Structure formats: C-alpha cells, structure tokens
Amino acid sequence: MSLCFAVGRLAAMFETRVKLEDENGPIERELLLRGIQLKYGYDFSHYAQNSMRRRIDAVIQEMNLKNPVELLNLILQSRRVFDEVLPKLTIGVSEMFRDPPFFRAIREHVIPMLRTFPRVTVWCAGCSTGEEVFSLAVVLREEGLLDRSTIFATDINPRALRAAREGIYSASQMKENTRNYLAAGGRSVFNDYFTADYGLVKMDPSLIKNVVFSDHNLATDSVFTECQLILCRNVLIYFDPELQDRALGLFLGSLHPRGFLGLGSQESIRVSKHAADFETIDERWKLFQRARESWRTHA
C-alpha cells in the first residue's frame, strides 16, 4: 500500500469517526440529561439546547472525559460528582445591584405600590448565591419596607442557596458593588451593610432576617405563594420557549393582580403566550406589571 493511499484511508477513517461522534453527540447528551432526571429528578430537557451543549462539552473537557456517557456513569455512581457538575450546567453568575438602573426602576415604579400593603411578599426566583437578594433587601430597608417584607429566595442549586444564606463574598468585588449600589440610587454608605475581614465580607445578617431560602425548580415545581413582586433575572435566558412559558405561567399564578415582574436585561416576554398578560413598565430594564385583564383569565 503506498504511503499516499494509507494516509488517505486514515484520513477517511478519522473523518468517519468524527462524523459518527458528531452524530452520536446529541443522543449521548440526551442520555446524560435523561439519566440525571431519572436519578436526581432535575429536568433539563427544556433548557436552550446550544448553551446546554456548550456547558456539557466544557464539563467533559474540564474533567478530561471522552463523552457525555462517561460523565453520566460518574454522575450515576456519585452524588458528590453530580453536586459538583450541577452548578456548571446551570450557571450561577451574579453580582450585587446587577444592572443598577433596574433597581432605580424598582424604587420609582414598584416601591410606591408596595407601600400600600401592610405586608409585602417578594419572590426572587433563581437567586443563585444571594447577591440579588441582599441588593433587594438593601433597597427595601432604605425605603422603610424591609421589616414588613418576606422574601422567598429560591434556586435549584443547593450549594448556591447555602452560600446565599451565609452571605459571605470576596472583598475584591466590593468596589464594583459600591459603584453599582450608588448607580442604583443607594442612599447611604454601602460599607455599613457588611463587615470585612481577611479578604472577605460578611453581609449584615439582619438584611435576610425575613428571607426564606428554599429549593424550587421552575421546570417542575408549582406556585407556592402570592406576592407583589417577582424577580427572575438572567434565568429564562437558559430556557427554551416552552419552559419560559411554564415559568411565566407560574409567575402569573403567584402575582397579585397588579403585581410586578422583573427579568434580566437580555430577556423578553414579547414572544411568550403570556405576553398580553403583562404591561411593560420599563422596556430597557425589563420591568413588567400584571395587566388588568389578566386577572380574569388567570384568576
């Protein structure tokens, strides 16, 4: 066999293998997600496919594995491995007063309505490690509402919820957080809300005295309370349209007749089947209010 011919055969074999792996990729990823659902109950079948694929591939690379099935085997054998992989599949990036103008919009449009209630209930869905919860608690305290408020802070990631309860963050983030706090309309000195030690800060625990941290999955769980404000920011972006509709349906089922919904700056309800159930209050910073007509349809 000539060298040229051998190289040609090898190249063809390699191409076939790559093609086969490519073709099997979606099946193997689906097996992985189905296995996770059967073993641990987390349903990722309606997450946006492309970004889920990228995240699975990144985990496989990081763990030096060959394919999703190998990852599935490890996950099935060990809850610890699953707990480590879960945050990588769900993306928990957060920051205090993320998109500061959003919090200005809350002060301007939502706070006046909340003042009219003897008790205020807020649901922070997909709260991750708690930065958003502390930001909201600071706003409610400065507006004199925190003591009569309950915040339900939920997520599917138990580790993130534990970190949120602890309220300990890197001190290196505090410069940026302070800038955000001021840009968000902060009225005090942000340093007063935490104590700093050894490169870490501990947020003032009294801010989360009335916060209930809890496991809640927007893909599988149901409505659990009525609230006047729901924040679900930078979560729907990871869902496909069907799951986005499910989550928005849960929010409608939870919201007070004229309650408010805040989403992330890259998220939209325009194409959702629930679009008509919300009025837009701030298009840029994604603040919506439940539409009057929606009470009848979703009472």
Question: Which residues touch 250 (CB under 8 Å, ≥6 apart)?
Answer: 218, 222, 223
Given 76, 91, 171, 281, the residue binding ligand SAM (CB under 6 A): 91
Is the CB of 103 or the CB of 190 nearer to ligand SAM? Answer: 103
CA terminus-to-terminus distance, the chain:
77
Q: Which amino acid is at 121?
A: T
215, containing H or E segment: strand 211-215
Given 52, 218, 263, 291, the residue binding ligand SAM (CB under 6 A): 218
Tell me how far CA of residue 74 lies from CA of 15, 38, 89, 149, 160, in angstroms.
29, 15, 15, 43, 22
Q: How far is the CB of 67 from ligand SAM (least distance, A)?
A: 24
Q: Does 157 bind ligand SAM (CB under 6 A)?
A: yes
Q: Does 94 bind ligand SAM (CB under 6 A)?
A: yes
Structural tokens at position 28? 């193997």
159, containing H or E segment: helix 158-166
Is the CB of 88 or the CB of 107 nearer to ligand SAM? Answer: 88
Query: What is the distance between the alpha carbons of residues 270 and 42, in angstroms, rounded to a whole number?
Result: 28
Q: How far is the CB of 205 from ligand SAM (least distance, A)?
A: 20
3 state SS of 129: coil
Q: Per CB under 6 A, which of residues 227..286 are in contact with ligand SAM?
A: 233-235, 264
3 state SS of 225: coil
Q: Does 90 bind ligand SAM (CB under 6 A)?
A: yes
Q: How far is the CB of 185 from ligand SAM (least distance, A)?
A: 18
Q: How far is the CB of 231 from ligand SAM (least distance, A)?
A: 7
153, containing H or E segment: strand 149-155
239 bridge partner residues: 47
Q: What angle do CA 154, 224, 102 make, to 5 degrees?
A: 50
# residues near ligand SAM by CB under 6 A: 22
Q: Per CB under 6 A, which of residues 26..85 are in contact with ligand SAM?
A: none
Q: Does 92 bind ligand SAM (CB under 6 A)?
A: yes
Given 28, 36, 97, 132, the residue binding ligand SAM (CB under 6 A): 132
Q: How far is the CB of 94 from ligand SAM (least distance, A)?
A: 3
In the block, tokens 């408010």 appear at 260
Q: How far is the CB of 292 from ligand SAM (least distance, A)?
A: 28
Q: How far is the CB of 282 from ligand SAM (least distance, A)?
A: 16
Q: Does 155 bind ligand SAM (CB under 6 A)?
A: yes
Given 3, 93, 271, 299, the residue binding ligand SAM (CB under 6 A): 93
3 state SS of 229: strand
Tell me how far CA of residue 44 lies from CA of 41, 233, 248, in angstroms.
10, 18, 17
Is the CB of 161 or the CB of 201 nearer to ligand SAM? Answer: 161
User: Which residues of the chain form contacts with ligand SAM (CB under 6 A)?
Assistant: 90-94, 98, 126-128, 131-132, 155-157, 160, 217-219, 233-235, 264
